[in-house]
Amino acid sequence: MTDQSTLSLPPLTLAGISVRTSNDRPDQIGELWQRFYCENISGKIPSKKSDDVYSLYIEYEGDHTKPYTLLIGHPVEADFTPPIGLVKKVIPTAQYAVVPASGPQPASLIAAWQKIWSMGLSRTYTGDFDLHSVSGAVDIYVAIG
């Protein structure tokens, strides 16, 4: 995980399911992923812009040790109205450190986040996300200032 690049991105609207959680509650995170696939949430998001899956970490109460909102879903148009049971959140415009999390999942993703927590990045905690592309690649985007 020595590769890391930075990039500026415009806002992106996502729709999916969410939970208020924290990193010391991996059970809640795993349950949300299970719901996403078992309940075919992808099929409940009409007119999604991509089949790529995003997991958005937003509305932090502080740093990565504090509660935040986790949304798992797909990109949609900004004016999208989510069906009952789904929510919509916006990934804010930001500068991001991009960290690949390649390898068997979810172990590679967990290891990459543990590395990020110890990297000393100047994080803004405005919104971070994992991008699980249909190609199988997983990258973590960490908002930095």
Structural domains in the chain (count): 1
Domain extent for 14: 5-144
- pLDDT tens for 120-138 read 999 999 999 999 999 999 9
Residues 66, 18: Cα–Cα separation, whole Å: 16
- pLDDT tens for 23-75 read 999 999 999 999 999 999 999 998 999 999 999 999 999 999 999 999 999 99
Contacts of 2 (CB under 8 A, 6+ apart): none
- pLDDT tens for 63-78 read 999 999 999 999 999 9
The domain that contains 30 carries what CATH number?
3.20.80.10
Buried b (16+ CB within 10 A) or exposed e, 77-102: eeebebeeebebbebeebebbebbbe
